[in-house]
Amino acid sequence: MLFFIEVTLSGMMAGVMYSLVALGFVLIFKASGIFNFAQGVMALFAALTLVGLMEKFNFPIWLAIIGTIVVMIALAWLIERIMLRHLVNQEPIILFMATLGLAYVLEGMGDILWGSDVKVLDLGIPQGASDWMLDSFDIYIEKLEIFAAVTAAIMVAFLAVFFQKTRIGRALRAVADDHQAALSVGISLHTIWVIVWSVAGIVALVAGIMWGSKSGVQFSLSLIALKALPVLILGGFTSVPGAIIGGLIIGVGEKIAEVYLGPFVGGAIENWFAYMLALAFLLFRPQGLFGEKIIERV
Amino acid sequence: MNQQSSPETILAVENISLSFGVMKVLDSISFDIRRGEIRSIIGPNGAGKSSMLNVINGFYHPQEGSITFKGETRKQMAPHVAANHGIARTFQNIALFKGMSTLDNIMTGRNLKMKTNLFWQALHIGPARVEELENREAAEKIIDFLGIQAIRKKPVGKLPYGLQKRVELGRALAAEPELLLLDEPMAGMNSEEKEDMCRFVLDVNSEFGTTIALIEHDMGVVMDLSDRVLVLDYGKQLADGVPDEVRNNQDVIDAYLGVPHEH
Amino acid sequence: MIYRETGQFKANYQDDQALFPIAQDRYVILVILLITFGLVPALLNEYWLNAILLPFLIYSLAALGLNILTGYCGQLSLGTGAFMAVGAFSVYKLMVAFPGIGFIPMVVLSGVITAAVGTIFGLPSLRIKGFYLAVATLAAQFFLIWLFNKVGWFFNYSATGMINAPPMTIFGAIVTGPKADPIAKYYLVAAFVAVFALAAKNIARGRIGRNWMAIRDMDIAAELIGVRPLIAKLSAFAVSSFYVGMAGALYFAVWLGSAEPTEAFDINQSFLVLFMIIIGGLGSVLGSFLGAAFLVIMPIMLKNLMVDGFGTTSALAEHIQIIVVGVLIIGFLIVEPHGLARLWRIAKEKMRLWPFPY
């Protein structure tokens, strides 16, 4: 039983990581209807930039983080300027494929700017097992994972307030609803997009820091981020709580499947379990856990 | 209006009710369409006109009621059943296949007339070739009828609005339907285009003998074209009859002049 | 040669329906075929055949397959790599188990098997659309590759998990394995591509192709005029996977000679083929060829230029190549979503009217 709890907890922690990436997807999708395939690479790019600033320019941690945030905002501005601006009112599938191209550009740029070797990211986030959990419940859990969970919670709370209470948040939701209607009441689409992509970039940075601290900053990070896609299918593309819960379900589900089912089929089913789960789910509830059913009109 | 299906009735809907969640879109609607007539459905925006057409050709599934088409009664239609049995339609917001040419759009309308399988199609010889040519001829007849020869090979996405409406009519006609549903065929047209479209509707009706059900906002057009008119308002049936009856119906006048509703 | 249609009148629909209604196009195709089958093998050396023409032709076939699904029917797939793997492993098992049935039927049969697998993974397309479907095809990608890695039966329990193509002959010439004759390989692949490109063009311009495009452009309207989404989508998945499967079989057996699933058929393969049809032109048979040519030749040229010309490291050249591909994708989607094929058509239109602007 203890082992099961341990597996579940470690699954939840992995799930929090997925949620962090999924959150970036949701933000952009909500505000622009774009399914941003590059979100994972953005996390990688942010983490690479952070490490690069610290290693190559000897920035202290706080300055490196600020520097990275500046870079991510500049990136958002460039993306809007060069790409999004020219793709307004295109089909969603065209926009999706454009972000595929963006993923390649960012990947190549990250490699050229900061090198493609695996990097260690040490921000002084506590490492090792949590003694308290080990002593009082006999459960092994990484401090880093607890830290990640807390960070995610704070960020979600922050985003919720941002969306519900601020003027920009309301404008964001208006844009998500209907581009043209939003334009016609005087909301600047371009500004909104820059803001959203900046926020998504910062979320990507947080995700990149967490993943990077755990397993080093390397290209596989952007592949792990692909797992955010099944998370979104479960949670719905427009729901922030959906992204969190979806992430937890996927994280826990694949850990349990790996530990209890994996040995019978040769292991490594973590590679595909999330996608299959999402696929099965899609067949029964195409709109996700929290999405609304859309009435089609002709 | 509880007419039994008489021999000349092509379609009869009985007590159709449709709702989405708590929203009642159609509330116990019954009417019929006689073979060969032009039947109009009018009503203010949100009256349920388009939904009614969607029910007839099986895109929406009503919770209650039945649809009798050519003597067969069903609780609801399926889109392919409707298409197979000779119901075709056009759409309020043009629903053409934008990436395809005018000719291809109309040829797609003949889809159900074509039967050869993938193998023959891949070789493009024998039956597939013969079939393609036969249907091309039929499609060309419609192109001639609508006077759109010049845009035969043009992608429809780039055509002006009025022509797109015409191509859409062509695509529906290509199926050689017995019942043609037209959802606001003249919306957004100038008076000249409207006149053209009216003439096509009348010609289709008289030349091909096609039964037509149409939704239209322009009262002049409706009263001139229609044999009978059905009036809907907030999903309810307000009136049904020949144009003159409907014109003088007090409920209809109230609905259009905006006497406050009691909900 | 002057590209004009003046004076070429079509007296009946039969002529107008022809594959290439304009006479000059027919000559061009004839010349291309003559060059492909006559001149190329005589003039080009082994490096050209093996390093450029074979991958170009094989990727063209795969791109054709994906274009049927994505370009014509509008269903985005990110599982092309895995479906190529299905073709590769099918042909491998056939070569090992039934060496007597001949290599050409084996490749076709691999296509059929892939079509069956593809149809199964196409089932979700009936309920889900757009990028939801893309995620569903990711499931195919990761699951199938895992399967080929873990289940020993597929690679005949070889210690490395690799599959190696045993030598097969056609008319006495060896076409697979390490001792294969480059010219024979080239002829075989070119013949496959020519035949199936023609078939694809025929399907695309007939009823089935129109139904695919109808589903792509306006699925609801298509359904209401009697196109069955079930049949249209699944047939697109089947035909597409058939092509991709054959491409995978040729890719492994004729070109690579040996393969290991995680490297040869990973998700980057899926992206590569998708990029080919975006750059070449969605919904265009010609575009599949142009895109494949571009993405096969461009990296080689870029690498030669950078490494030999500017003396950069090959790692840097590779990174720059990734960026170039990404930029091109975005650029094409913004400027010309119909890709190189549309640019070619615009050029032809201009030539038709030249020297008058309209």
State whether residue C91 is helix, strand or coil.
Answer: helix
**Chain centroid offset of residue B78 CA:** 16
* Helix boundaries (H) for B113-233: 118-123, 127-146, 161-174, 191-207, 219-225
pLDDT > 90? residue A225: no
For residues B101 and B194, give the distance between their C-alpha atoms in angstroms, rounded to a whole number.
24
Domains of chain A, each with CATH number or no CATH? 2-284 (1.10.3470)
Backbone dihedral angles phi then psi of residue B235, each to the nearest 5 degrees: 75, 0
Interface test with C, best of B105, B124, B140, B183 (most C CBs within 10 A): B124
Query: Domain boundaries in chain B?
Result: 1-86+177-263, 98-176
Architecture of the domain spanning B1-86+177-263: 3-Layer(aba) Sandwich (3.40)
Task: Tell which wins on pLDDT, B145 or A158.
Answer: B145
For residues B129 and A142, give the distance between their C-alpha atoms in angstroms, rounded to a whole number.
69
| pLDDT tens string C88-129 | 999 999 999 998 899 999 999 999 999 999 999 998 888 777
For residues A118 and A122, give the distance between their C-alpha atoms in angstroms, rounded to a whole number.
13
- Whether C210 sits inside 8 A of B108 (CB atoms) is yes
pLDDT > 60? residue A58: yes
> CA–CA distance from C357 to each of C310, C341, C348, C349 (Å)?
42, 21, 13, 10
Mean pLDDT for all residues in chain A: 81
Residues C317 and C303: beta-carbon distance below 8 Å: yes
Task: Tell which wins on pLDDT, C81 or C133.
Answer: C81
The number of beta carbons lying within 10 Å of the beta carbon of residue A259 is 17
Q: Out of A197-211, B169-183, C125-139, C265-279, which region has the weakest mean confidence (pLDDT)?
A: C125-139
Dihedral angle, C-alpha B174, B178, B183, B188, nearest 10 °: 50
pLDDT > 60? residue B53: yes
* Chain A residue with Cα closest to C323: A105
State whether residue A116 is helix, strand or coil.
Answer: coil
| pLDDT tens string B135-168 | 999 999 999 999 999 998 999 988 999 899 999 9
* Residue-level pLDDT at B5: 42
The two tokens of residue C226 are: 């009697």
Nearest Cα residue to B39 out of B239, B214, B243, B248: B214
* Residue-level pLDDT at A207: 86
The two tokens of residue A153 are: 């919670």
- Whether B91 sits inside 8 A of A297 (CB atoms) is no
Structure confidence at residue A18 as a pLDDT band (50, 70, 90): confident
Residues 6+ apart with CB under 8 A from C75: C69, C122, C125, C133, C216, C233, C236, C237
Interface test with C, best of B53, B80, B156 (most C CBs within 10 A): B80
Residues 6+ apart with CB under 8 A from C273: C59, C62, C63, C66, C80, C81, C244
Q: What percent of chain C has pLDDT over 70?
A: 96
* Residue-level pLDDT at A290: 67
pLDDT > 90? residue C316: no
- Whether B118 sits inside 8 A of C239 (CB atoms) is yes
| pLDDT tens string C39-92 | 777 777 888 888 889 999 999 999 999 999 999 999 989 999 999 999 999 999
Q: Does B61 touch chain A (CB under 8 A)?
A: no
| pLDDT tens string A112-147 | 888 777 777 777 666 666 666 666 666 667 777 777
So what's the ipTM on this one? 0.88
pLDDT > 70? residue A296: no
Contacts of C333 in chain A (CB under 8 A): 87, 90, 94, 97-98, 101
> CA–CA distance from A265 to each of A39, A254, B206, C158, C211 (Å)?
32, 14, 69, 18, 41
* Residue-level pLDDT at B121: 87
Nearest Cα residue to C14 out of B134, B181, B25, A258: B134
State whether residue B29 is helix, strand or coil.
Answer: strand
pLDDT > 90? residue C204: yes
| pLDDT tens string B61-83 | 999 999 999 989 999 888 989 99
pLDDT > 80? residue B256: no
Range picked from A5-9, A228-232, C17-21, C233-237 for highest mean pLDDT: C233-237
For residues A238 and A157, give the distance between their C-alpha atoms in angstroms, rounded to a whole number.
16
**C-alpha distance across the termini of chain B, in Å:** 24
